[in-house]
Amino acid sequence: MTVSSLILNESEYYDIEVFMDSSNRVLIPVKQTSKLLEIPLTINHSSKEVVFSTYSGAEVLVSKAGVFMNGVKILSSPIFQKEGILGSDEYFVDKTTASTIFESEVDVDPNSLNVMVENKHLITLTDKEGESIEEQKEILKPKPKGRISFDTFEVNNSMMSDSTKQVYLNTTQNNVMFNNNTRMGLKGKICGGDYALNFNTNNYTQELFSFGGLSFSYRNKIKDFFYELGQVSGLRDDYNSIGTMLIGAQLSDYDEYEKKKDNQTEEKIFLEKGKVQHRIFAGVSGYNNRLFSSNGYIYQMNSKKLVGGINRRYGIRNDMTLDTKIVFDKIIRKNDDSIFITNLYNDYSLLSSGVYRNPNTMEGLSIINTLNLYKNKNYRLNLLGGVSAARDFNYNNGEYSSGYSVSLENIFDYKNYTFKLRLYQQSPDYYVAGSDSGFISDRIGAEIGANYSRENLNASMRYTRYYSNLDKRYNGGLTSFDELYFNSGMKIFNLARARLNGNLRYGENGIGDNLNYYYNFNLSKSFKQSLSLEAGYMSNAYNTKYSEGNSFSSGFKSSYDTAYMSANYRLPKNKGVLTLGHDNVSYESGGASNNYNMIKLNYRFPEFKRILLGFGVGYKYSGLDGGCTYSGALGYRTKSGMIMSVNYQYNTAMGYIFNNMYIPSNARHSINFTMNDTFAFSQNGLQSIGSSSPNQGFVEIVAYIDKNKNGKFDKEDIKVPNVPVSVSWQNESIKTKRSGFCPLQCVEKGIYEVKLDGENMHTNLSAEKNAEASICVEPQKTTRVEFPLRSSVGNISGVLKISDDFDRKMNISDFIVTLCGEDGAEVAYSTVDAGGNYYFSGISPGKYVVALDKNFINDYNLIPDEKYGKIEVDIPYVYKEFVEMNNQNLVYKSY
């Protein structure tokens, strides 16, 4: 006899024991093969007979006298082996007999001794009527939700206390500011639709409590129509945002929300020829999607408008789509005392940023048509034409005026390159109704952009030239602007990684010019994840000059330049991280200037029980003001990986940079506290998951010992911690906690594999049923995976005693003692040795009955002792330590 392999359906491999007879035929084990083919057996331990039914219902009897099928002998003398390598009391038959009794195609490789079985009755790994293997596997799907469900609860808190001493234009001002913002959100389902509730509070120096308002949204569908209530999606494109800040309702005949979740590429958004899509919405703007805000909250200052619109998309050709938007708005309430009701036009703001139209003072109608052409994968063209009729209450006595907008955009993609060219013009009175904030108007210009990307190099840039104040409505006449944005990164061989990014804007008109820019050049290098070096140069500049005789002739100039370098070293044996840095800073603002050098030292302690601690100190050894800076941070990492932290910082000679303008201060104390986390509702309670996206679902994994044997996890079962589980969405295994549950998993939608990590599981535990499962994850739904485990801690031993009235002992060698469960089914059996000893090992917790096999009782006319004829054994539900049930002696009388 030897151990070989049984190959089932060319897919699954199992160890079996085969027998080679005197004719060098390889014989196949009956009991072992039956088990692999899921055929239940009935075994007579006294006569050693094996009985089972085939898939078609034929009765098979295997005994030492032969193999019988429906009473007809098909094999005279099968080989019987009392003790084997993988089992005992086993029968061995040839491949022809095996093919008949198992109703399968059985073959044997005489060289490798492998047994091949083709079994069409098992559908786990065979094609059935053309279905793929994946379709035939049982896949666990998310459990259905009730009419109302709570899915996630999100908490975000940010608190800052800031005290500054600011020096600006020869004046000194002390400022103390406190601000705390807490936002909470709840998401779930109601009647099959998705809902979201959000509210926030604001605490600041002038108002210790301010309710920021309550926002809500609800999405669902009726037949082929999708509707939204509360906060609606509105309309968005690359240059307009319309109706996204409404409280109202929206109806469409296509699901824009699902399209975004599926991350469709741009070419798939084009409609097929003749297809039409519609969207209609209406509501009130000015609340920023929040109701019940109080105590001067900023959104109370906005004008409240009635807004309505319709969007129609039509596929002219498969590669050409026409998008039409018609939107109107009407002011229904305005706050005359608010600064947001005034257009802040002056020479200074016009020169630095161009004409700004305040939508709080305007109402009207807009019609915007966009023609999208997707000629091929390399070329796209977008043509926009819009008209409006609107009035501005702060201009032209509130009379209506017309406006227009046109633009032509070409996008060319080729391999690693992308080029973009755009020409555009918006008239001075052009208005975008329903816009969520300021909109683009009073401009004519051109924009060119390029992008290049490959393995070790990426670069992008965008240059725009445009003119504003086209009708010379404001001082200075026609204003020209040049804007440049650039970003690049590359690996310089194996020496370092370089990065350069920045922006520049230059504005000029008849009263002056304004130049502001920012750039940052950085070099970095890492060495074996323990040492990293970084160096760079950063510069900000802002300079406004006015012509003689202008009220702003003094102008304003500021600059802030930093040459920096740092070394970051991870100390051996996880002793923390040490950072040493140096800055050379030079600044000028409003006539004040300074140049100083600072050396900085920071140390981050090793993480201890998810507690994070770090501190830093800096010393200025040159410049007008010396001294030190200090910082400290204390944080706590949650089980989901999110961090709650409090930070303190004291700086000298710091300041603020706003739109590349530097405003200095000579002292600043600040304390910041942040906390962000998302919790999911599960059967195991509210669990931290860190973050969640609309395209993610939840996976709940539990390991337990099924105490009540009902096939599912409930409160009576034994929860098992520290069970390793392998999941296909990540490389590392996860472990169950004291509750028996793994930390709740957030996973992108799809099909995944989950299985017990048997190699690293406790030696007394094994899978009760399947050790792995295929699961389906759907967005915002929970898929439950249950792993019932089998504990093998029970060992039962005793002695079988059989005597007659004269106390004469019977020869009981090879008698069988059985172990039966509460339902009477045989769990295991043990062969008695010459001394009457029997032994059961690896028995699961539960209640059992130990007794002599009834076939021996009947064959030898034995009488069980009233007390010791059968013995009840109760193995406790534990798994860490073995349970020894010794001296379970059985007594019988013979006559």
Three-class DSSP category at 257: helix
pLDDT tens per residue across span 707-734: 888 888 988 899 999 999 999 998 888 9
Three-class DSSP category at 664: strand
| Predicted confidence (pLDDT) at residue 411 exceeds the cutoff of 90 | yes
- Counting residues of the chain whose pLDDT is more than 70, the rounded percentage is 89
pLDDT tens per residue across span 217-258: 999 999 889 999 999 989 888 788 898 889 999 999 988 655
pLDDT at 369: 96
Within a 10 A sphere around the Cβ of 48, how many other Cβ atoms?
19
pLDDT at 167: 57
pLDDT at 129: 37
| Predicted confidence (pLDDT) at residue 134 exceeds the cutoff of 50 | no
pLDDT at 209: 64
pLDDT at 204: 62
CA distance 599 to 593: 20
- Counting residues of the chain whose pLDDT is more than 90, the rounded percentage is 45
pLDDT tens per residue across span 779-793: 888 899 999 999 999
Could you tell me if 189 and 142 are in contact, meaning their C-beta atoms sit under 8 angstroms apart? no
Could you tell me if 709 and 773 are in contact, meaning their C-beta atoms sit under 8 angstroms apart? no
Q: Which of 63-72, 206-215, 397-406 has the lowest mean pLDDT?
A: 206-215
Could you tell me if 329 and 242 are in contact, meaning their C-beta atoms sit under 8 angstroms apart? no
CA distance 144 to 200: 31
Rounded average pLDDT over 203-230: 82
260's enclosing H/E stretch is helix 256-261
Residue with tokens 């001067």: 296
The per-residue DSSP string of 563-586 comes to EEEEEEEE-GGG--EEEEEEEEEE
CA distance 106 to 895: 49
- pTM of the shown model: 0.68
| Predicted confidence (pLDDT) at residue 694 exceeds the cutoff of 70 | yes
Q: Which of 116-120, 592-596, 880-884 has the lowest mean pLDDT?
A: 592-596
pLDDT at 823: 86
Per-residue tokens: 46: 């006294």
Rounded average pLDDT over 35-60: 88
pLDDT at 276: 94
pLDDT tens per residue across span 349-362: 677 777 777 788 88
CA distance 595 to 850: 91
CA torsion sign, 198 to 203 to 204 to 208? positive
| Predicted confidence (pLDDT) at residue 674 exceeds the cutoff of 80 | yes
pLDDT at 583: 94
Could you tell me if 310 and 278 are in contact, meaning their C-beta atoms sit under 8 angstroms apart? yes
Kindly list the distances between the CA atom of residue 865 and the CA atoms of 599, 821, 852, 870, 889, in Å, as whole numbers in the listed order.
Answer: 91, 20, 11, 8, 11
- Which residues, 6+ apart, have CB-to-CB distance to 669 below 8 Å? 161, 162, 163, 164, 648, 649, 650
- Label residue 682 by pLDDT band (50, 70, 90): confident
- Which residues, 6+ apart, have CB-to-CB distance to 831 below 8 Å? 88, 814, 815, 816, 838
Report the DSSP pairing between strands 661-664 and 148-168.
Answer: unpaired
Per-residue tokens: 677: 């986390």
pLDDT at 654: 58
CA distance 204 to 46: 87
pLDDT at 571: 93
134's enclosing H/E stretch is helix 133-136
pLDDT at 666: 62
| Predicted confidence (pLDDT) at residue 696 exceeds the cutoff of 80 | yes
Q: Please, what is the average pLDDT of the chain?
A: 85
Q: Please report the domains of the chain, with CATH numbers, ordered by start residue.
A: 2-130 (3.30.457.10), 693-791 (2.60.40.10), 794-894 (2.60.40.10)
Q: What are phi and psi of 341, to 5 degrees?
A: -100, 5
Kindly list the distances between the CA atom of residue 138 and the CA atoms of 38, 713, 752, 772, in Å, as whole numbers in the listed order.
Answer: 17, 19, 12, 11
| Predicted confidence (pLDDT) at residue 264 exceeds the cutoff of 50 | no
- Label residue 703 by pLDDT band (50, 70, 90): very high
Could you tell me if 255 and 264 are in contact, meaning their C-beta atoms sit under 8 angstroms apart? no
Q: Closest by alpha carbon to 345, among 359, 363, 364, 358?
A: 358
